[in-house]
Structure 1
Amino acid sequence: MIFNKGELFCGPGGLSLGAKLAEVISPSGEVFKVEHRWANDYDSFACQTFRHNICPDDPDSVIEEDIRKLDIESLPRIDAFSFGFPCNDYSSVGEKKGFNGDFGPLYSYGVKVLNIHQPLWFMAENVGGLESANEGEAFVKILSDLEQEGYNITPHLYKFHEYGVPQARQRIIIVGIRKDLELSFRVPEPTHNSNNYRTARQALEERPIPHDAPNQEYTNHQAKVIEMLRHIPPGENAWYDGLPQHLRLNVKGTKISQIYKRLHPDKPSYTVTGSGGGGTHMYHYDIPRALTNRERARLQTFPDNYKFLGGKEAVRKQIGMAVPPQGVKVIVEAILKTFAGVPYNFVEAKWTFNYDPELDETNLIKNKVKENTPEYLTL
């Protein structure tokens, strides 16, 4: 069975690449997989990257348009849908305006796609801060709106380092399956634990980056920055106590932990981000320099031939905002197994959500999920 998938807020294609890599064979031998049908984003460089890598033979299927102007009704029929709605107003980094911000309400366009096109299943992705935005009301409202379009939904906080991603990255992903199908999605069991997390060194050194790999431009650092990095041990940042006085930053107030923070070679990296000024570009554990965009893409599990288009900072933004394809692949495979009737190991979702139409009441239960994340990976 082929699921033709549409996507809003597609970015450079992390969700679509992960879905494209997933494939399941049913007990009868039928192949279950996902194929791209259409996608939308307002960022020109992200759309160029998506076209180049995901659908080079069908560039017109990627619509560069402000979501508020997109004609959703005219989009082709789809069986599956994904949308990583903008996280700016839900992120723990920032004012956390939620529905009161410019981006918070944009999830409603994903709800509109569900209402009009009624795909068999969907995936919605956002930051962990969504849970507490607007004192928790935003999360419940979003879940309620998705459920009332006719879907059984399973919201969970995925820790991607538990699924083979060499990076401490946590995201809420909501999986919905149409109620009339009478199928139950389960959160796939983590594939990695503290004994075998993929590390920054493995990501960057298991195989050399090809000499002709795209997005491998190096940053030209000032001599003082290089000297400072030489004094910062792996895993430490600009606030390291052993840093000589003349190299210390003159900062008052909050000291952000990621400023000039060097990776630790034997642990997953800290979270790859797409914004921020000097000192936030992620720094190599062995060489006194910032990571290249290609190295950041490796921490995000993009293959080396995945070319990001645009200038250096535009590429950095795309990589930081993307969803790690390897993590997505595991989740989509679980969805495909659900449809194919293939059993798999699963764990309890972090939340259970129910809606009672007779009482018009929502019920969000936070389950007691076992926490096994080492302290050094707690964000």
Structure 2
Amino acid sequence: MRFGELFSGPGGLSLGAHLAAREVGLKLKHLWALDYDADATATYKRNFPTAEVHTADIRKFPLKSLPQVDGMAFGFPCNDFSLVGEHKGVNGNFGPLYKYCVAAVEHSMPKWFVAENVGGIRSANSGEALETILRDFSDLGYSLTPHLFRFEDYGVGQRRHRVLIVGLRDDLGLRFEVPAPRKAPRTAKQAIEEPPIPASAPNHEYTKQSQRVIERLNALAPGENAFSNNLPEEHRLNVKGARISQIYRRLNPDQPSYTVTGSGGGGTHVYHWSEPRALTNRERARLQSFPDDYVFEGGKEAVRRQIGMAVPPAGAAEVFRALFLTLAGQRYPRVPASLGGKYAGLVAELRGEQSVPAQRTKVAS
């Protein structure tokens, strides 16, 4: 099965696709990938050496020059859909870039595609952004299944909630069903320590912490942050009107990590539960479910950015596994797809069927 990826980042979606293909016995021929970030494409080339990787601005790239594929993946930019910021949606600078994914799908007409974005896309432009995106892909002739995946339910040691849209070409007569979780939850401690990270693992450099940060972290219990009521006054941050829960927040070893981010200043690097320090990039990669032999290229902050922006491959693998089983006509345990509210009705409308309210806890086989 020929495969390509747009807005590829460091390759979390693609790694998930390959893991799933290996599990179900499918041969995935990785043809190409495209991203504008040179460090990310260097990482991609390092880990997927057979793919033709393009470093380019998609707005200036001749998409019709890309070879035809059977399947496509893309995590189009989330900046304008994130709940952090102005939330401009399709009216922002990055929101309209999804249209290049629409154009690529229209050109290649693959059997399937998987699109990924942040949970905040549901409310961008008062909900109209996601509706527009769904209609644009549906108009190409695809049956769509959008769903808010909580990746901690799928074996990822991190609370990371993302909207994935799985499209299947109408002429296939198939419909993707959301897979039911089948893996035990993983805590932050399990993700980072089981098994122990080898000392020789790549991207495992420690950050030198200032004495002030060390003292602040030592005053915090696991799970607490810089705004905790238990923190002595001299270690609190002098910030008015803002109480950001992830600032200098120590991990709780007995729970999945909070969301790993790719940018941000002091206090946003994710902090160890017992040692007074920020995590290494390899530890962040562990929370994102990347294997230790997955090498990230670039400087320390560039690697941090790539890891924070990536899709957890273990979570993506569960989605691709269900997709590949669907294409093979095989059944698997599933749960109803739902984004709640009008989107359930919208998807039903686009499919020409009656909307049925989803029940998140019911599992079908």
TM (normalized to structure 2)? 0.94
User: 1:221-232 counterparts in 2 under 5 A?
Assistant: 221-232=209-220
User: 1:316-355 counterparts in 2 under 5 A?
Assistant: 316-351=304-339, 352=344, 353-355=347-349
User: 1:120-135 counterparts in 2 under 5 A?
Assistant: 120-135=111-126
- Contact 1:154–1:349 (Cα < 8 Å) also in 2: yes
Deviations 1:38-76 (A, max 9, x none): 10000000000000012x245xx1011001011111110
Partner of 2:31: 37
Partner of 2:176: 185
How far apart are residue 368 of structure 1 and its match? 3.7
Deviations 1:119-161 (A, max 9, x none): 0000000001001100000010000001111100000000000
2:359 partner letter: V
How far apart are residue 23 of structure 1 and its match? 2.7
Provide closer, same or farther for how the CA distance between residues 42 and 356 of structure 1 changes in structure 2, counting only shifts above 3 A.
Answer: closer
1:105 partner letter: P
- In structure 1, the residue corresponding to 2:165 is in which secondary structure? strand
Cα distance in 1 for residues equivalent to 2:35 and 2:2? 18
Question: Greater strand share, 1 or 2?
Answer: 1
Provide closer, same or farther for how the CA distance between residues 173 and 52 of structure 1 changes in structure 2, counting only shifts above 3 A.
Answer: same
How far apart are residue 34 of structure 1 and its match? 2.6
Cα distance in 2 for residues equivalent to 1:356 and 1:350? 14
Say whether residues 1:201 and 2:189 are aligned partners: yes
User: 1:29-178 counterparts in 2 under 5 A?
Assistant: 31-54=25-48, 56-58=49-51, 61-178=52-169
Partner of 2:295: 307
- Contact 1:33–1:336 (Cα < 8 Å) also in 2: no
Deviations 1:11-53 (A, max 9, x none): 0000000001113788xxxx42433111000000000000001
Partner of 1:17: 15
RMSD of equivalent CA atoms? 1.8
Cα distance in 2 for residues equivalent to 1:134 and 1:85? 17
Say whether residues 1:234 and 2:222 are aligned partners: yes
TM (normalized to structure 1)? 0.90
- In structure 2, the residue corresponding to 1:251 is in which secondary structure? coil
- Contact 1:24–1:336 (Cα < 8 Å) also in 2: no
Structure 2: give runs of 5+ residues left out of the alignment: none
Residue number among 243, 252, 270 corresponding to 1:255 in the alignment = 243
Provide closer, same or farther for how the CA distance between residues 246 and 32 of structure 1 changes in structure 2, counting only shifts above 3 A.
Answer: same
Deviations 1:77-131 (A, max 9, x none): 1000001000000001111111121100000011001111000000000001001
Deviations 1:182-209 (A, max 9, x none): 01110000124xxx42000101111111
Q: 4+ residue stretches of structure 1 with deviation over 3 A?
A: 354-357, 362-369
Residue number among 360, 363, 370 corresponding to 2:360 in the alignment = 370
